[in-house]
Amino acid sequence: MIKKENFGSSFKWGVTLSAFQNEGAAVADRKGPSIWDAFSSDTQNINNGDFIGEASDFFRRYREDISLAKSLNFGVFRLAISWPRIIPDGYGQVNQSGIDFYNRVIDTCLEKDLEPWLTLYHWDLPQALEDKGGWTNRKIITWYSNFVDICVQAFGDRVQHWVVMNEPMTFTGLGYFMGYHAPMRKGIGNFLPAAHHATLCMAEAGRIIRSASAKNEIGPALSCSYVRPYNHRLINIRAAKRVEALLNRFFLEPLLGLGYPTDVMPVLRVMERYFQPGDEDKMSFDFDFIGLQYYFRVVAKFSLSPPLLFAKEIAPNTRKSNLNVMNLDVHPGGMSKLLKFYASYPQIKKLLITESGVCYPDFQVARHVHDVRRMKYHQKMLKQVLKAKKKGVPVEGYFVWTLVDNFEWREGFEPRFGLVHVDFDTQKRVVKDSGLWFQDFLK
């Protein structure tokens, strides 16, 4: 049986929330519209025709949610800052009401003896900037730097832990290549510049935050997947290596000063068409930690489509897989393998699991919400983290996605990841079995 003490006294235990997925209050206190406000306003874009409404109403219930996190014995409260709540049009006048809201949230965290960790970008780009090209417009570097600087000035006196960006591969890949997420743009011609500009923005954010205080701890939160080949045929092994490069190395290596992974994907040399003088150096920054967010395994094989990648995933529902509500392959065993892989980079000082969670159905009986599968998932994940830690991997934190059920982007309200159940009609919170397990484990 795993014990909290096995991880060491300096190990960080936290919960994570997102601005768009949790706050609601889309127009309160002069907040501007984001690309996700625009996207979700058409309920045909959302699973089951769900309307986000007030989401989980964190904007009004932040004290209750922060108190819940404390009652479950977590020490870190990671929250995202809504860019359009701070700067409604993305780059112009600062909205003091937005600053005041996050000041109240941060102060409440500190009152409850919770360490506030701020995520500067969790996908809700101001719509006014998307109208100017969004992440495909190189001016985004200036716009983003301005936003980061404002946040550091407003919150830096009390916040020392900063996540510069959340899952850049997800929002650029699904939003600017596949058109599945906001802002629904498609094609390699959108994805490549958006991805390059996101890389530059992460590194520049690091420099801005570091210049404010040498005590600040800074890192990105990168999505990753355990990738294995369909079989041992060389053609499929090479295909899996390309998928791995795209999912696990694409953003990491330029941030570490290694450039894009052209060794297994020579096609990525095309990225250079978006370079300007000095970009090779500007892409990298000496981060204090690398945050990893692992949700699913990928089994890959060679395919003529899509071109350039020449690989595809074997659909999880066609093979023996442990599927979550979103039909993704849940594989806790991949966690230790991924941690070992990332620890092989000598440039990485420290690793954190900045998100770990799963969407399984909840079962409500009277006043209790049972989610045994979610509880066992976290237990299995923690065993894998501890396995890696015992082998010398510098992993120093585990943050649960998420504290309370919320709006899961295009998938709507059906996928529930929370340790706390939310009745979205009444906003009533009920701690699930998984939350009670953490409460006991972290005592």
Q: Which residues are catalytic?
A: 167, 355
> DSSP characters for 297-351?
EEEEEE-SSSTTT-EEEPPGGGSS--B-TT--B--TTHHHHHHHHHHT-TT---E
- Indicate the Cα dihedral angle 61, 65, 70, 76, nearest 10°: -110
* DSSP state letters, 11-49: -EEEEE--HHHH---TTGGGPPPBHHHHHHHSGGGSGGG
Q: What is the crossing angle of helices 188-212 and 168-176, to 10°? A: 150
How far is the CA of 48 from the CAs of 22, 246, 361, in angstroms?
19, 31, 16
In angstroms, rounded to a whole number, what is the distance separating the alpha carbons of residues 234 and 245?
A: 16
Length of the chain: 443
> For 91, how many CA atoms within 13 A lie in the half-sphere containing its CB?
14
Identify residue 54 by its one-letter amino acid code.
Answer: E
Rounded CA separation 285/359 (Å): 34
101: three-class secondary structure by DSSP: helix
